[in-house]
Amino acid sequence: DAMVIQNPRYQVTQFGKPVTLSCSQTLNHNVMYWYQQKSSQAPKLLFHYYDKDFNNEADTPDNFQSRRPNTSFCFLDIRSPGLGDAAMYLCATSRGSGRDQETQYFGPGTRLLVL
Amino acid sequence: GENVEQHPSTLSVQEGDSAVIKCTYSDSASNYFPWYKQELGKRPQLIIDIRSNVGEKKDQRIAVTLNKTAKHFSLHITETQPEDSAVYFCAASREKLTFGTGTRLTIIP
């Protein structure tokens, strides 16, 4: 009965080699988020989609891109991973942004290792 | 933008005692305040939340209080148990979540 699913759970990539992380949801939520979380730190929002509308955080590096081909799926593309991009990447969803719709549900995360 | 400060960064309490974690926020327009618990290597899990029209909310051993005037909110855990050991994050939201820096809570058996 997993609601927010992330694959893979662990991803190893080489320095500079493009990598794609995936997220899917069975909740039919309108909003999907990507967060980066480094050890002992709070999750940091990279971007989010409200339906098909893409919203990028001002300090998200250009190296990070995202795609949402349909309601259920969202992808995080890292074009040229650097050592500093090693982190846990968390996907989250919410019904919307209005009252009673903003509760976010997190997936289990993908831990990215860059060699 | 919103800025959320969280204290303390680490907290150790004896099993059975109470734990209190405090957060302050800067944006008076924030209207939703969730608390997440994150165990090592796992996802953040929502444990309780409060909206700006409510001053206090309780769910069994967990309670949250909100003071909108002072722009601070607190998490209270009573009768702590070893399984309460985790990192706790507060957050404030107007349109998106801004997280506090986290509190590592350790329950000493």
| Residue closest to B95 by CA, chosen among A55, A16, A5, A69 | A55
Check CB contact under 8 Å for B34 and A90.
Answer: no
Q: In this complex, do B32 and A102 lie within 8 Å of one another by their Cβ atoms?
A: yes
**Cα–Cα distance measured from residue B74 to residue B70, given in angstroms and rounded to the nearest whole number:** 12
Q: Tell me: the pLDDT tens digits for B32-82? A: 999 999 999 899 999 999 998 889 999 999 999 999 999 999 999 999 999
pLDDT, average across residues A58-75: 94
Q: What is the pLDDT of residues A28-52, one digit of tens each?
A: 999 999 999 998 899 999 999 999 9
Query: Please, are residues A49 and A32 in contact by the beta-carbon 8 Å criterion?
Result: yes
Question: Which one of A45, A103, A106 has the shortest CB-CB distance to B96?
Answer: A45
- The confidence score (pLDDT) of residue B95 equals 79
CA distances for A58 relative to A34, A47, A96, B1, angstroms:
14, 9, 21, 11
Query: Best mutation site among B7, B89, B97 for testing chain A: the one with the most A CBs within 10 Å?
Result: B97
Q: How far is B33 from chain A (nearest CA, A)?
A: 10
The CB density around residue B87, as the number of other CB atoms within 10 Å, is 20
Question: Nearest CA of chain B to the CA of A18: how many Å?
Answer: 24
| Chain B residue with Cα closest to A91 | B43
pLDDT at A21: 97
Q: By CA distance, what is A111's nearest residue in B?
A: B41
Position A112 scores a pLDDT of 97
Residue A25, pLDDT above cutoff 60? yes
| Residues from chain A contacting residue B95 (CB–CB below 8 Å) | 97
Cβ-defined contact of B45 to A106 (cutoff 8 Å): yes
